[in-house]
Amino acid sequence: MRLGPDIARVAALLGDPARANMLSALLGGQALTAGELAREAGVTAQTASTHLAKLEDGGLLLRRRQGRHSYFALAGADVAEVLEQLIVVAERAGHHRTRPGPKDPALRRARVCYDHLAGDAGVTLLDALLADGRIRETEGALLLTDDGWAFARAFGVVLPNAGRRPVCKACLDWSARRNHLAGVLGAALLTRIYELGWAHRQDGTRVVQFTSPGLRAFEAAFAPLPQQN
């Protein structure tokens, strides 16, 4: 018997299409009800309840009770990162469940990845912080420099106690196939972008929509985004 973590159990939980759809629906960081997740998975309420119990027991979901209702969310940023990397592999290998729809370009431009900015906007943000020396890459890890701390304070970003979560973390972007910024700083920067009114999240989607003035402000603070095709 081999010792150590049982990755086969996690893989089995992720490998069911209905459960994969449920988990993907939670990648935006929000909590959803069992009924909402059943619709995302295309299954009955009873079947959804069985799947959700397995995911919760397997440590991939957390259940939050509010009054008579239960809401489900990903168990943590590490679960979101695993899902995002699986999306990268599926995208590279050409495994697409559906043909790209009208929202696909918007998702590639700017979207939420659990709690931080992804897509072209997220990649541009990280590139700019690296180019300005506010973040330094050392032996594959991202470190916030003294200039970076000063920038964060000037930008109005409050960095909470990270605990075990790193301040800066590279997250491979499935659409750009390059890194965007995750970690405590990535989450705090997206929160600040919302606070400044530069962008908002489209209801019911992971799309982050910049206003025209907000896009100009973002590009002035960081760098121009690639032009949409």
Q: What are phi and psi for residue 160, nearest 5 degrees?
A: -70, 170
* Highest mean pLDDT out of 6-15, 26-35, 59-68, 179-188: 179-188
Fold of 7-75: Arc Repressor Mutant, subunit A (1.10.10)
Q: Residue 162's pLDDT is what?
A: 58
* Helix axis angle, 17-25 to 77-93, nearest 10°: 120
For the segment 89-108, what is each residue's pLDDT rounded down to a tens digit? Answer: 888 887 876 544 445 889 99
What local confidence, expressed as pLDDT, does residue 98 receive?
Answer: 57
Total number of residues shown for the chain:
229
The predicted model gives 151-174 an average pLDDT of 88
Neighbours of 101 (CB within 10 A): 9
Q: Please give the residue that has the higher pLDDT: either 215 or 165.
A: 215
- Average confidence (pLDDT) over 66-93: 88
- Residue 229 above 60 pLDDT? no
Domain ranges of the chain: 7-75, 100-221
Please name the residues in contact with 163: beta carbons below 8 A apart, sequence gap of 6 or more: none
Residues 6+ apart with CB under 8 A from 132: 147, 151
**Share of residues in the chain with pLDDT > 90 (%):** 69
Which one is predicted more confidently, 158 or 59? 59
- The chain-wide mean pLDDT, for the chain, equals 90
Average pLDDT over residues 179-189: 95
Listed range (42-56, 73-87, 95-109) with the worst mean pLDDT: 95-109
Kindly state the DSSP code that residue 92 receives in the 8-state scheme: H
pLDDT at 156: 96
For the chain, the distance separating the N- and C-terminal CA atoms, rounded to the nearest angstrom, is 53
**Per-residue pLDDT band at 29 (split at 50, 70, 90):** confident
Place of tokens 């499935």: 174
In the predicted structure, residue 1 carries a pLDDT above the cut 90: no
Q: Please compute the mean of the pLDDT values over residues 156-162 and round it to a whole number.
A: 80
Q: What is the pLDDT of residue 38?
A: 94
Rounded to two decimals, the pTM is: 0.80
Burial of 120 (0-12, 13-18, 19+ CB in 10 A): buried
